[in-house]
Amino acid sequence: MTELLLDPNDVTAKAEPVGDARSNVAPDARPLLEVRDLAVEFGVGRGALRAVDKVSFAVFPGETLAIVGESGSGKSVTALSLLQLIPSPPSRVKSGEILFDGRDLLKMFDKEIRAIRGNEIAMIFQEPMSSLNPSLTVGLQIAEPMQLHHGLSWKKALAKAGDLLKRVRIPDAASRVSAYPHQFSGGMRQRAMIAMALACKPKLIVADEPTTALDVTVQAQILSLLKDLTRETKAALVLITHDLGVVARYADRVCVMYAGRIVESGTAHEIYDHPSHPYTLGLMASIPRLDQDTQQRLVPIEGQPPDLAALPKGCAFQTRCRYLHDRCRQEAPELEHIDGQHFRACFADIKGGAHADARV
C-alpha cells in the first residue's frame, strides 16, 4: 500500500478525498472541545520552559482535527494537558481554559476528571508496548474501563472486550482476550489500544502519534480503522502527528505547531492547496511525492528547533526561515485570518499553491 506516500498538493487523488472542515458536522453544532489560550510551563534549572504557549483550537462532534509538528513542538503536551495527565510538578498550566461540553477540565478535581478519562474522552498513547500493562491480559485491560465507568460485571465486560477486539479486526478475537501484550505484534497492540479507547463509547478520542514505530502498511491500516470507527460512533478525533502526509487523507482540519504555538491552521484543503507559513512549506518539502523525480532528494528544514527556555525575541522560526526580515527579529507574529478558516502567524508574503516555492 502506498497511500501514505501522498502528493501533498493533490488531496483529491485518492479514493477517499479529504473533506472540508466540519464536513461531517451539523451546521449549527457547537464545539465539543474548545481550548482557549492554553499555556503550559515546566520548571527547569534555568527557569520556566514554555512548552505550550497560548494555544487555541476547537473540535466539533464527528470531525477529525490533526495537530502537526516535529518533535518538541508541543503537540503531546497539549494532548496530555486535556486530561490533566502531565505530572505537576514539574509542569503547571500557566493560563487558559479547556472546555469540554461546556465544562472546564482544568478546574475539575481528581475525582471529576477520572470520571471523564477513558469514559467521555479516550486517549490512545504513542507507544502501546509501554502503555499496556505487561502483567495483565489484554482482555482485562480493555474490560476495566467498562467495569469502572459503566458498572458491568467482569464476565460481561470481558465478553464485550472480545467483541471490541473483533471490531478492530484482531484475528481469532475470542482467544486473544486471554493473551498478554507481549504476545501481540506492534500493529495488534495498537489495535488493542484502540479497542480500549472505544470501550466506553467516548465522545472524543485523542490519538497521540498512533502509528509511531509501525511500518507503512500497518500505519495505513491503523489510520483507516480509526477513521472508520470514529465515523461509525460519531466520535470526534484529535490526531497528533509529525507527518503531514499521514493526515492528508484523514483530517478535516489541521493545526500546525512550532515551538509551542500554532503557526498555521485551516481546513485540510486550505493547508495543502495554499500553505502560507514557511514551516508548513518545509514540512511538505520533506514528504515523498508520487510526482517527484526518483533521483531528487528530500529537503529537510535546516537548523534545529529553538530552546523553549530561551526563545529568541521575535518569531521563533527566524533562525530557520528563508523569508526572514527585520520585523521578524523584533515581533512575534500572531495568528491572522487569511481566508475562509485559514489562519497563519507570519509576516512573510508567501503566495501561490503548494507547488510554489515549496522547498524552504
- pLDDT for 49-105, tens place per residue? 899 999 999 999 999 999 999 888 999 999 999 999 998 888 899 999 999 999 999
Give the span between the Cα atoms of 71 and 87, in whole angstroms.
20
Give the pLDDT confidence score for residue 284 in this predicted structure.
Answer: 86
Looking at per-residue pLDDT, the higher value among 85 and 12 belongs to 85
Using CA atoms, how far residue 64 sits from 280, 299, 324, in Å, is 19, 28, 33
| pTM of the model as a whole | 0.86
Give the span between the Cα atoms of 55 and 36, in whole angstroms.
7
Angle between helices 138-150 and 186-198 (to 10 degrees): 10
H helices of 199-267, in order, are: 216-233, 244-247
Residue 199: all three cell numbers together: 470501550
Reply yes or no on whether the pLDDT at 227 is more than 70. yes
Give the pLDDT confidence score for residue 292 in this predicted structure.
Answer: 67
Domain boundaries 1-120+202-354, CATH class: alpha beta
Give the pLDDT confidence score for residue 275 in this predicted structure.
Answer: 92
Reply yes or no on whether the pLDDT at 19 is more than 90. no
Say if strands 91-100 and 33-44 run parallel, antiparallel, or are unpaired. antiparallel
Question: End-to-end distance of the chain based on CA atoms, in angstroms?
Answer: 29
Give the pLDDT confidence score for residue 147 in this predicted structure.
Answer: 94
The C-alpha cell 529537503 sits at 299
Reply yes or no on whether the pLDDT at 110 is more than 60. yes
What is the band of 354 on the pLDDT scale with cuts at 50, 70, 90? very low
Range with lowest mean pLDDT among 129-133, 164-168, 190-194, 254-258: 129-133
pLDDT in tens, 270-316: 998 899 999 999 888 877 777 667 777 778 888 889 988 888 899 99
Give the closest residue to 203 by CA, choosing from 82, 84, 96, 85: 82
Concatenated DSSP letters of 124-193: E-S-HHHHS-TTS-HHHHHHHHHHHHH---HHHHHHHHHHHHHHTT-TTHHHHTT--GGGS-HHHHHHHH
The C-alpha cell 524552504 sits at 360
Give the pLDDT confidence score for residue 38 in this predicted structure.
Answer: 96
Residue 164 has phi, psi (to 5 degrees) of: -65, -40
Residue 201 has phi, psi (to 5 degrees) of: 55, 60
Residue 198: all three cell numbers together: 472505544
What's the mean pLDDT when you consider all of the chain?
85
